[in-house]
Amino acid sequence: MAKQFDREEVEEKLIAKITNSKYNNIKEINYRSLVENRIEYFKGIEPNVTKTLDIIAKNTGGELAGLDFKLKNSESLYRKVKDDVKEKNITFSNALYEVNDILRYTLVQNENNFTDTYFLVKKFLEKQGYSIMRVKNTFKNNVTYKGINTLVKDDKGNIFELQFHTHKSLHIKENELHELYEKQRVLDFSIDDVLYKKLIQKMINLSNTINIPKGVERIR
């Protein structure tokens, strides 16, 4: 026997669906507003940080690269925070405030005196009230990426990312390596494990063409 049509039940389900949809839309609008506010905050501190780093770069024989991308765009930040919420099981607000590369810089230095220049930059930063709070040194063989990634904190507790590269490591990172990474990033390892591993090996082979600066193991 066919189930009798229940108009009230259908209406209740429809109302619940609409209400839930409106709630999700409002929630997303609020989340995106939080993201925009966070970016605006870093826009406020950016000019002073950029000026300081530019002076330091010039005084140490280097240059700042990619300044057009020094601020993470809102869509990229929103996507990262949403992913972190899911992976870490934390609130949107907590995930947002854990992102440390909303403001990010790349300092390119000569390969021949790369290590000594890093410590000179560190000294200049400390004189200006900044401190390097985390260092990730991947200048070694058989890795997918070579560079020095640091997190720097100002005297007010604001954190930004500062990467150190040679001319070649930056060129490879922004061109061939980036293309391979974008292909690998969207793969599901459980489904595309063969292609995933192949792309990883290509990235390693590419990074192995980058010279390791003398004494770089001292940076840690």
pLDDT tens track for 112-150: 999 999 999 999 999 999 999 999 999 999 999 999 999
> What pLDDT sits at residue 48?
98
* Cα 86 from Cα 88, distance rounded (Å): 6
* Cα 22 from Cα 29, distance rounded (Å): 11
User: CB-based burial of residue 185 (10 Å sphere; 0-12 exposed, 13-18 middle, 19+ buried)?
Assistant: exposed
DSSP code for 10: H
Residues linked to residue 103 through DSSP beta bridges, in sequence order: 71
* Cα 194 from Cα 170, distance rounded (Å): 28
> Where is 63: in which H helix or E strand?
strand 63-65
Domain ranges, ordered by start, for the chain: 9-166
Write out residues in the chain with pLDDT < 70, as ranges: 1-24
Nearest Cα to 161, choosing from 59, 88, 80, 60?
A: 80
* Cα 144 from Cα 210, distance rounded (Å): 11
> What pLDDT sits at residue 187?
86
User: CB-based burial of residue 178 (10 Å sphere; 0-12 exposed, 13-18 middle, 19+ buried)?
Assistant: exposed
Q: How many other C-beta atoms can be found within 10 angstroms of the C-beta atom of residue 133?
A: 11
Residues linked to residue 132 through DSSP beta bridges, in sequence order: 152
DSSP code for 99: -
> What pLDDT sits at residue 191?
87
Tell me which amino acid residue 124 is. F
Largest CA distance in the chain: 86
Nearest Cα to 200, choosing from 215, 184, 214?
A: 184
What is the pTM assigned to this prediction? 0.86
Tokens describing residue 162: 């500062």
**Superfamily covering domain 9-166:** Beta Polymerase, domain 2 (3.30.460.10)
* Cα 93 from Cα 85, distance rounded (Å): 9
DSSP code for 112: G
